[in-house]
């Protein structure tokens, strides 16, 4: 029987699993709603069912699942597989996710922070193949980050490293959910884009907040040539460029990968971002650093979690 | 004969060498002006003389010098020992410092960036003993940085990493020598403090720029209770705190060490810095990170360069 692993992306909205072969090809998928409100035991129960379904499919293919990798949001103690705390799962405090899943599944389980898992996925099978030093920025509802140095995730002393979305970009800027002001996340995320759009309209004396505005509607308006939306996306690019310039000066990385839903608006922000990087970062490392869109999209987390299971 | 190394701090103003035993104790020192204007060959010639003097002293002590470590400013290719470019030495372009010194001295020479050397020195014999992840900020004329992860310097893809002084703290702030605007260096260095002092006086309508103002004179005025100087040092602490909060969120390090001449004014800025860090950084890593003054002062670079020579 050939060897397979299962990679899990455990999100606050959906839990997704992928059956992966040794090369990281996705053979089978599952996708279910995450029953966050029912508490962590129910979440783990439902996840176990998804995983068992994948194991049956593996057997049908003549494969054996050797291990499970789970990418989970929040502060993770990776070595012990414990979710210390998680913004998306309010009741998860010191949940021994590895241990609970192993008791149910009788198979080795490895747990990794979701942004780190996505970075590992891009490095293994996506934009960062063969790259040793790379930073992934996921521009979604918020801005997540995963830092790969010498081919490995930099987790920091407690596993909380990589919060590049919470770099201060504007000291007196918008108040962020993390308690800080002016975080990159407040300007370069989908939520930030919607806030900038409302702010810009207010400055211009145009009609006020409209609940139907989403990041996608701003992208569409900008693509259609709308001035307000175009200026919002230009500003978003400039703030993103400030953040990336900081990362270039600090890390001198080979590559910065930009993922998340906002990546779909690439052409609306990348020129402004690159101009800002050229104006701000040291020329030598700035020329070296390739700034590229993610390749794997939503699959990055599952594939990266699978790579953890394979590598461990 | 017991084994010794020589650690060199090659600065734009002074070249300093230390004869070190195996434990990193400084046994002998030399200090000479660096003849920058006479060109790199003359600088290397004079440095070789200082090193030969130290070797004689070592022999007098019954010791043999096994290797030389040099901390040099600028962009260094550490593996090859080449100074690619250096802001303090305008004519140094791709100078093969290791090779030129080895030809003269017939002894192994290792070259490291000066801020990295200082970080290694603090880790070996100073504030960071036994610490695996640590960032050194040297608040001098500018703001330098050295990043130690898993006990080793993070150099980046080209050896330019660690430029934490050139993080943007205020996007529309002062124009920095590096070309960026609002770098941490423009607010937390000795030069930045003098600029802030002049700016503050101008805002208050007080008499204009006075060439006698130095960072030290601002420190003295603040220590004597002067309002303008106290507010300048408080502002400096707040900007430093923003930069440190960013580093905590990105790296989750065990320790941040603050060195350089401005460190002498510790009590005038540290409270404001810590308040800003608490307000901005994630609580979990912020509580973990110890923020401490450097222990070795000006010796950190020589001692760290010596550790490179010993370890290599």
Mean pLDDT score across all residues of chain A = 95
Quick check: helix, strand or coil at residue A91? coil
Test B161 with A288 for CB contact under 8 angstroms. Answer: no
Is A6 an interface residue toward B (CB < 8 Å)?
Answer: no
Q: Distance between CA A203 and CA A195 in Å, rounded? A: 12
What are the residues whose beta carbons fall under 8 Å from the beta carbon of B69, sequence distance 6 or more? Answer: B5, B6, B7, B8, B109, B110, B111, B112, B117, B304, B305, B306, B307, B308, B309, B310, B312
Q: Which residues of B touch A246 (CB under 8 A)?
A: 167-168, 246
> What was the ipTM of the complex prediction?
0.93
pLDDT of residue B167: 98
pLDDT of residue A74: 85
Q: What's the gap in Å between the CA of B208 and the closest CA on chain A?
A: 28
* Average pLDDT estimate for B81-108: 93
Mean pLDDT score across all residues of chain B = 95
Q: Mutate one of A94, A152, A280, A289 to test the B interface: name it (highest B CB count within 10 A).
A: A280
> Which residues in chain A (165-224) have CB-CB distances under 8 A to chain B?
166-171, 178-181
Quick check: helix, strand or coil at residue A3? strand
Q: Distance between CA A71 and CA A112 in Å, rounded? A: 5
Q: Distance between CA A162 and CA A156 in Å, rounded? A: 8
C-alpha to C-alpha distances, A124 to A58, A118, A151, A220, B210, nearest whole angstrom: 22, 10, 10, 33, 58
- Residue B216 main-chain phi, psi, to 5 deg: -60, -40
Is B144 an interface residue toward A (CB < 8 Å)?
Answer: no
The DSSP-derived string for A155-183 is --SSS----GGGSBSSTTSPBPTTS-BSB
* Average pLDDT estimate for B112-117: 94
* Average pLDDT estimate for A226-252: 98
pLDDT of residue A85: 85
Test B167 with A132 for CB contact under 8 angstroms. Answer: no
Closest by Cα among B167, B126, B120 to B143 = B167
- Looking at chain B, list the stretches that DSSP marks H as alpha helix, in order from N- to C-terminal side: 40-60, 97-105, 114-125, 185-188, 190-203, 215-223, 227-251, 266-280, 283-288, 300-311
Q: What's the gap in Å between the CA of B102 and the closest CA on chain A?
A: 28
Q: Which residues of A touch B291 (CB under 8 A)?
A: none
Q: What's the gap in Å between the CA of A70 and the closest CA on chain B?
A: 22
Could you read off the pLDDT of B220-255 as tens digits, one per residue?
999 999 999 999 999 999 999 999 999 999 999 999
Q: How confident is the model at residue A238 (pLDDT cuts 50, 70, 90)?
A: very high
Closest by Cα among B279, B278, B289, B276 to B248 = B289
Confidence (pTM): 0.94
Q: Distance between CA A32 and CA A52 in Å, rounded? A: 14
For chain B, the farthest-separated pair of C-alpha atoms sits apart, in whole angstroms, at 67
Burial class (CB in 10 A: 0-12, 13-18, 19+), A195: middle
Is B7 an interface residue toward A (CB < 8 Å)?
Answer: no
Is A279 an interface residue toward B (CB < 8 Å)?
Answer: yes
Angle between helices B190-203 and B227-251 (to 10 degrees): 130
Q: Which residues of A touch B174 (CB under 8 A)?
A: none
Quick check: helix, strand or coil at residue B4? strand
Could you read off the pLDDT of A279-293 as tens digits, one per residue?
999 998 999 999 999
Q: What's the gap in Å between the CA of B35 and the closest CA on chain A?
A: 27
- The residue with tokens 């002894």 is B107
CA atoms within 13 A on the CB side of A209: 6
Test A281 with B180 for CB contact under 8 angstroms. Answer: yes
Q: Distance between CA B163 and CA B176 in Å, rounded? A: 13
Q: Which residues of A touch B128 (CB under 8 A)?
A: none
- The residue with tokens 């401490």 is B292
Residue of chain A minimizing CA distance to B85: A284
Residue B209 has pLDDT above 80, yes or no: no
Would you state the torsion angle of the CA atoms of residues B115, B117, B118, B121, taken in this order, to the nearest 10 degrees? Answer: 160
Residue B283 has pLDDT above 80, yes or no: yes
Test A179 with B253 for CB contact under 8 angstroms. Answer: no
Interface contacts A/B by beta carbons within 8 Å? 126
């Amino acid at each position: 029987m050939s060897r397979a692993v299962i990679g899990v992306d455990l999100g606050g909205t959906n839990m997704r699993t992928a059956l992966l072969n040794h090369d990281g090809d996705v053979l089978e998928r599952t996708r279910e709603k995450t029953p966050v409100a029912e508490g962590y035991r129910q979440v783990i129960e439902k996840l176990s069912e998804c995983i068992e379904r994948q194991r049956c499919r593996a057997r049908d293919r003549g494969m054996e699942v050797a291990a499970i990798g789970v990418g989970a949001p929040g502060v993770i103690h990776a070595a012990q597989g414990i979710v210390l705390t998680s913004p998306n799962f309010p009741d998860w405090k010191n949940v021994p996710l590895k241990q609970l899943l192993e008791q149910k599944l009788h198979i080795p389980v490895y747990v990794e922070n979701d942004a780190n898992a996505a970075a590992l996925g891009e490095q293994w099978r996506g934009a960062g193949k063969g790259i040793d030093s790379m930073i992934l920025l996921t521009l979604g509802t918020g801005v997540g980050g995963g830092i790969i140095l010498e081919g490995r995730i930099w987790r920091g002393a407690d596993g909380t490293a990589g919060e590049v979305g919470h770099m201060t970009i504007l000291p007196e800027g918008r108040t962020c959910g993390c308690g800080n002001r002016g975080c990159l996340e407040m300007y370069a995320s989908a939520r930030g884009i919607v806030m900038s759009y409302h702010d810009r309209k207010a400055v211009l004396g145009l009609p006020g907040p409209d609940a139907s505005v989403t990041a996608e509607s701003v992208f569409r308006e900008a693509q259609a040539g709308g001035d307000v939306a175009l200026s919002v996306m230009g500003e978003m690019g400039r703030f993103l460029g400030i953040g990336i310039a900081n990362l270039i000066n600090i890390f001198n990385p080979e590559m910065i990968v930009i993922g998340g839903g906002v990546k779909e608006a690439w052409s609306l922000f990348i020129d402004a971002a690159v101009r800002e990087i050229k104006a701000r970062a040291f020329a030598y490392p700035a020329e070296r650093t390739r700034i590229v869109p993610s390749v794997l999209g939503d699959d990055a987390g599952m594939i990266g979690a699978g790579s953890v299971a394979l590598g461990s």
